[in-house]
Structure 1
Amino acid sequence: MPILSNVLGFSLFGLASRLGQLSIEHRKLTSNPAATALCTAVFGYAGYWAWRWDERAAVILAEKRAQIEEHKAKRAATAGAQ
C-alpha cells in the first residue's frame, strides 16, 4: 500500500499544481482536460520513481550496514587474537 499512497499523493499534488496554474491564468478549470490528465500522470510517475528510489536506497543501506558489522567483527576477532 505505500506505493499506492505515494503515487496518489504525487498525482494529487500534480492536479493541485495544474488547477493552481489555471486559476492564475484565469482560465476555466475544464479548458484542457488532456493537459490536466497529463500533469496528473507525470506527477504520479514521479511518485512511483520516488518510491522505487526509496526502496533501492533501503536495500543499499542494509547492505552497507551488514558490511560494516562484518568489518567490525573481523577487527574484534583480530584484536582478540593479539
Structure 2
Amino acid sequence: MTLFTCVLGGMAFGFTARVGQLAIQKRNIYDNLAGHAASTALFGYAGYWAYKWDQRAAVLLAEKRAQIAERREARAAAAAES
C-alpha cells in the first residue's frame, strides 16, 4: 500500500468514527467541526505511522530471511563436507 492510501484510509476512518460518535449521542453531525478535524488528523497520523511500521517490518523480515538462508547454506556446506 502507498503512503497516500494509508493516510487517506486513516482519515476516512477517523471522520467516520466521529460521525458515528455524534450519531450515537443523537447530536447534529455539523456540531463542532473542530472535533471532526481533530479526529481526522489524529487517525490520519495513525495511518502514516502504520505505513512506516509496515515498511520497517518488511525490511526486518527481509534481513531475517537473508540470515536464515545464510545459515541453511552454511549447514548444507558443513553437511556436504562431512
User: Which range, TM-score by smaller chain?
Assistant: over 0.9
Give the match for residue 65 of structure 1.
65
Residue identity opposite 2:77 in structure 1: A
Query: What's the Cα RMSD here?
Result: 1.0
Partners in 2 of 1:13 and 1:6 — Cα distance?
11
Q: Deviations over 1:23-66 (max 9, x none)?
A: 11121111101111000000000001111111110000000000
Give the match for residue 50 of structure 1.
50
Pairs within 5 Å for 1:3-82 = 3-82=3-82
Sequence identity (%): 54
- Where has structure 1 moved over 4 Å in runs of 4 or more? none
Give, in angstroms, the shift of residue 21 of structure 1.
0.7
Residue identity opposite 1:62 in structure 2: A
So what's the TM-score if we normalise by structure 2? 0.95
Count of residues paired in the alignment: 82
Residue identity opposite 1:46 in structure 2: A
So what's the TM-score if we normalise by structure 1? 0.95
